[in-house]
Amino acid sequence: MQRILISTVFVALTASLQPALAADAPAGAGLKVGVVDTERIMRESAPADRVKKKIEKEFAGRDQDLQKMAKQAKDMQTSLEKDGVTMSDSDRQAKERELAALTRELQRKDRELREDFNRRRNEELSGMLEQINKVIRKMAEAEKYDLILQDAVYRSPRIDVTDKVLKALGAEAK
């Protein structure tokens, strides 16, 4: 008896909601939605390429200095291993201290380089994100999109506007 009552209430409730659901359908039918893959834009866009090259060029000198210092430490380590047996204890200890100091300096400079690199990259990326968002807004207004989403779990290729944004960014870069 109770099952029949619950079934009747469910049918009545479903029937009463149908007009409300039908009224919402036409409003959503004209909604134009697009989805943008921001990770892909950050990898493949002309501004991303420009930022990458700019930062690499900016830090190339410091990176080369670091590479030279690493080679010097490696050479010193090799020399110490090879000649350490024939050296006096005081000479070997002095070389070991010198190597330890060079290694600490190398680690410090490497850490500073990575921190500076990350800070500069974040500065450049924030400026690039502003530019990307401006291009997306401009495209959305021109093509009358109601909603542009970033990074959906699933998106149909039909609503993916990433290629359009990449083309617009490429055209703007020229």
Q: What is the pLDDT of residues 31-69, one digit of tens each?
A: 999 999 999 999 999 999 999 999 999 999 999 999 999
Do the domain assignments include residue 131? yes
36 within 8 A of 136, measured Cβ to Cβ: yes
Q: What's the confidence (pLDDT) of residue 30?
A: 82
Give residue-wise pLDDT tens across range 147-160. 999 988 888 899 99
CA angle 78, 83, 85 (to 5 degrees): 120
Q: Among all chains, which residue has been given the structure tokens 């109601």?
A: 146
Do the domain assignments include residue 64? yes
CATH number, domain of 36, equals 3.30.910.20
Q: Is the pLDDT of residue 27 over 80?
A: no
pLDDT confidence tier of residue 20, bands split at 50, 70 and 90: very low
pLDDT confidence tier of residue 22, bands split at 50, 70 and 90: very low
Identify which has the larger pLDDT, 66 or 27.
66
Do the domain assignments include residue 148? yes
Could you tell me the residue range of the domain that residue 146 belongs to? 27-173
Do the domain assignments include residue 14? no
Task: Name the residue among 61, 75, 54 with its Cα closest to residue 109.
Answer: 61
Do the domain assignments include residue 93? yes
Which range has the top average pLDDT, 2-11, 15-24, 44-53, 165-174? 44-53
Q: What's the confidence (pLDDT) of residue 29?
A: 62
Mean pLDDT of the chain: 84
Give residue-wise pLDDT tens across range 92-130. 899 999 999 999 999 999 999 999 999 999 999 999 999
Do the domain assignments include residue 63? yes
CA distances 69 to 74, 105, 157, Å, are 9, 9, 50
- Number of neighbours of residue 14 by Cβ within 10 angstroms: 10
Do the domain assignments include residue 6? no
Q: Which long-range contacts (CB under 8 A, 24 or more apart) does 100-105 make?
A: 102/69, 102/72, 102/73, 102/76, 103/73, 105/69
Q: What's the confidence (pLDDT) of residue 28?
A: 52
Do the domain assignments include residue 124? yes
Q: In the chain, how many domains are there?
A: 1
User: pTM (2 decimals)?
Assistant: 0.66
Three-state SS at 30: coil
Q: What's the confidence (pLDDT) of residue 170?
A: 87
